[in-house]
Amino acid sequence: MFRVRNQIECTDELVNTCGNAGVTIAMLDTGIANHPDFEDRIVGFKDFVNGKGQSYDDSGHGTHVAGCLCGSGRLSDGKYKGIAPSSYLVVGKVLDYKGDGMIENMVSGIDWILRERKEHNIRILNISIGMGEVADSEKMNKLFCKIDEAWDNGLLVVCAAGNGGPGPMTLSPIGARKKVITVGCHEGGYFGEKDNLCENYSGRGPSEYEMKKPDIVAPGTEIISCNAFFEKRGKMYRNAYVSKSGTSMATPIVAGALALLLQKYPWYTNEQAKRKLQYTAKDLKEPWDKQGFGMVQAKYLLT
């Protein structure tokens, strides 16, 4: 995350201009561990998989995503802090320990977030979940309608393009929707010609619903963020951070930047925020179906 913040020009000085009244971000994922980097900022949790009452993450995916969003970097002296470290989290566990889940749980999760929206002032919904094609069109349509409903209720829905690229029209079905901000991966040349870059398998447009997809890209290769399986020995912590790659990691970087935008300009609507995100992106001179408007740039988004 240290490298990512430099790449998108998200400096401490810039973050400080946004004040410290963090917004609330909802997540649908594998859950979230009580990592010290989240302090007391997990304000809501519901388990749609196993029905447990306390927050947990038996996969590690959700905790890593949350760290990218808003980890404080406490256990790394700030080095691996997330993009919006003042933000609060409402987390729905809709995926199991393998990262698998049912559409019904996704629908129930969005319903729950919509019910909790006013109580916690939720402004953003982060969905770092890639999906393949589902044969049951009725279930998929119900999910699509629920995602549209979340956007229509004012939430900024930020979702992963998926890791099914590089062929055309390989976006995750959720990422193909019009009423979402679809995030793909791109490193902007940081790793040179290194193999296994996320941008080489990031889902690509166009979409059957919206020709210009993805909307934006962010770094997603070898991102170091919070580890759900950290060890505490006395006052010491081990394995507090872990590296992961994918559009799942790029998505919270964009959602975190948008959280800072709403922290600084709380009157922005989701449509206004989306337009500013798009029009302040850095053009990487890549095809539209790979980069969208380009790389998220906090320096210009937050001015």
Selection from 86, 92, 128 nearest residue 250 by Cα: 128
- CA-derived radius of gyration, the chain: 17
**Collapsed DSSP state (helix, strand, coil) of residue 47:** strand
Task: Please report the pLDDT score of residue 45 as a whole number.
Answer: 98
Measure the CA–CA gap between 91 and 29, rounded to whole angstroms: 7
Structure tokens at 67: 């760290």
Are 221 and 191 contacting, i.e. CB atoms less than 8 angstroms apart? yes
CATH number assigned to the domain covering 2-301: 3.40.50.200
DSSP character string of 52-90: -SS--BSSSHHHHHHHHHH---GGGTTTT--S-TT-EEE
Catalytic residue among 35, 37, 59, 61: 61
Task: Please report the pLDDT score of residue 137 as a whole number.
Answer: 87
Angle between helices 61-70 and 247-264 in degrees, nearest 10: 30
Catalytic residue among 172, 225, 245, 248: 248
Task: Please report the pLDDT score of residue 62 as a whole number.
Answer: 98
Q: Between β-strands 24-29 and 122-127, what pairing exists: parallel, antiparallel or unpaired?
A: parallel
Which helix or strand (DSSP H or E) is residue 41 part of? none
Tens-digit pLDDT profile for residues 231-282: 998 889 999 999 999 999 999 999 999 999 999 999 999 999 999 999 999 9
Could you tell me the residue ranges of all domains in the chain? 2-301
Task: Please report the pLDDT score of residue 50 as a whole number.
Answer: 97
Indicate if 64 belongs to the active site. no
Task: Please report the pLDDT score of residue 80 as a whole number.
Answer: 97
Are 115 and 240 contacting, i.e. CB atoms less than 8 angstroms apart? no
Cβ-Cβ contacts under 8 Å for 147 (sequence gap 6 or more): 110, 157, 174, 177, 179, 180
Structure tokens at 45: 């949790």
- DSSP assignment, residue 293? T
Task: Please report the pLDDT score of residue 124 as a whole number.
Answer: 98
Beta bridge partners of 241: 226
Tens-digit pLDDT profile for residues 192-211: 888 899 999 999 999 988 77
Reduced to 3 DSSP states, what percent helix, strand and coil does the chain have, rounded to the nearest 5? 35, 20, 50
Task: Please report the pLDDT score of residue 234 as a whole number.
Answer: 86
Measure the CA–CA gap between 181 and 213, rounded to whole angstroms: 9
DSSP character string of 160-181: E--S--SSTT---TTTT-SSSE
Low-confidence ranges of the chain (pLDDT < 70): none
Indicate if 248 belongs to the active site. yes
Measure the CA–CA gap between 273 and 269, rounded to whole angstroms: 6
pTM of the full structure: 0.96
Omega of the bond prior to 252 within 30 degrees of 0, cis?
A: no
Omega of the bond prior to 214 within 30 degrees of 0, cis?
A: yes
Distance linking the first and last C-alpha atoms of the chain:
22
Q: Between β-strands 88-93 and 24-29, what pairing exists: parallel, antiparallel or unpaired?
A: parallel
Task: Please report the pLDDT score of residue 210 as a whole number.
Answer: 79
CA 32 to each of CA 60, 71, 253: distance values in angstroms, whole numbers, following the listed order: 8, 12, 17
- DSSP assignment, residue 19? -
Indicate if 61 belongs to the active site. yes
